[in-house]
Amino acid sequence: MPAKLRAWVALVAAVAPLALLSSSGVPAPVPFSPAPVAVTSTPGASKPVRPVQPSQSYKKPLTRSLDRYLDKLPGDLSVSVREPSSGLSYTYNRGLRTAAASIVKVNIVVALLLRAQRQRRALTGWERRAAAQAIKVSDNDAASRLWAAIGGAPGLAAANRKLGLRATRPGPGGAWGSTTTSAADQVRLLNALVSAKSPLSAGHRRYVLGLMRDVAPEQAWGVSAAAGGGQADAAVKNGWLPRERDGGRWTVNSIGRVRVRGRTYLIAVVSRRNPSMGAGVKAVEHVSELVTEAVARIAR
């Protein structure tokens, strides 16, 4: 075979896997094949070791930072954060359960709305007034009326099954503030206020967040501190309660959705046995800042 012909055959053989000629003589598109995942091997290891995913790299140092800070404090605390757009999440001290105190008022209002949806009706005038009072100014009498309206503990438990809350136990009788919960469950509740897959209608999701954005200024502390110095839109609900069973020490909780610099974070902090309400607020705000900064660095 002449040398020029041999060169032409070799060129065609090299190009053929990259493009198939159509009947018109125009190269047909080559089907897309995702690039293989890079795998590194460790000498002496029997199986390849995949690199650590960047989305997980913040968890161990963040846990160490929280350990160092909380080891100096007398109480117990758990924090959970989720960045919905990326799916990044983190929970510290997952097993802690505390009295919900007034953060349960959001859960009660959500249960009321689910009940109204099931009955295919709008909230009545008194229900809307009670919901606003319970969340905006943390009115206990309003919460008690709503607690009765949803059917008390069984009504809250039924709503929470629909919401996917796994670790929230309603308080006995009329003691709605003695409902126990976890930080991770409270983030699940917050997710029901922002997710299109929520059992709550879009209008009801906006309604609850609107109430939480309009809490009394003196009650707007807590997870809203995660915004730092940036411009933020915070929708929050806090709970605080000295507990006799803890020797008068304080349960201090905070939940909310915080938007800062174009990103949304769902944050819940529950704590108990704080020496004072002020000490509890300080701890809640500090850990809210720590976890949000860590997630924000990875989510960017």
Closest to 257 in 3D by CA, of 222, 300, 218:
222
Q: What is the overall mean pLDDT for the chain?
A: 85
Joined tokens for residue 47: 């199986």
Across residues 198-217, what is the average pLDDT?
97
Contact 268, 247 (CB under 8 A): no
Report the C-alpha gap between 10 and 214 in whole angstroms: 73
Decide: helix, strand or coil at residue 239. strand
Are 134 and 120 in contact by the 8 Å Cβ rule? The answer is: no
pLDDT of amino acid 5: 40
Instruction: Estimate to the nearest angstrom the gap between the alpha carbon of 247 and the chain centroid.
Output: 31
Cβ–Cβ < 8 Å for 78, 92: yes
pLDDT tier at 44 (50, 70, 90 boundaries)? very low
CA 284 to chain centroid, in Å, comes to: 16
21 or 119, which is more confident: 119
**Least confident stretch, 1-5, 147-151, 264-268:** 1-5
Alpha-carbon span 148 to 218, nearest angstrom: 28
**pLDDT for position 58:** 78
Number of residues assigned to the chain: 300
pTM assigned to the model: 0.81
Q: Which domains does the chain have, with CATH numbers?
A: 62-299 (3.40.710.10)
Residue 227 confidence class, pLDDT cut points 50, 70, 90: confident
Q: What pLDDT does residue 297 have?
A: 83
% pLDDT > 90, the chain: 74
Give the lowest-confidence range in 32-46, 175-189, 226-240, 248-262: 32-46
Say yes or no to pLDDT of 281 above 90: yes
pLDDT band at 230 (very low <50, low <70, confident <90, very high): low
Assess contact for 221 and 245: CB atoms under 8 A: no
Exposure b/e, 242-269, CB count within 10 A at least 16 = b: ebeebeebbbbbbbbbbebeebebbbbb
Percentage with pLDDT > 70 across the chain: 79
Average pLDDT estimate for 163-167: 97
8: pLDDT strictly greater than 70: no
pLDDT at 56: 65
Own/partner long-range contacts of 200-206 (Cβ < 8 Å, ≥24 apart): 200/110, 200/113, 200/114, 200/117, 201/117, 204/113, 204/117
Tell me the pLDDT tens digit for each residue of 107-127.
999 999 999 999 999 999 999
Q: In sequence order, what E strands does 111-249 have? A: 180-181, 232-242
Q: Is the pLDDT of residue 296 over 90?
A: no
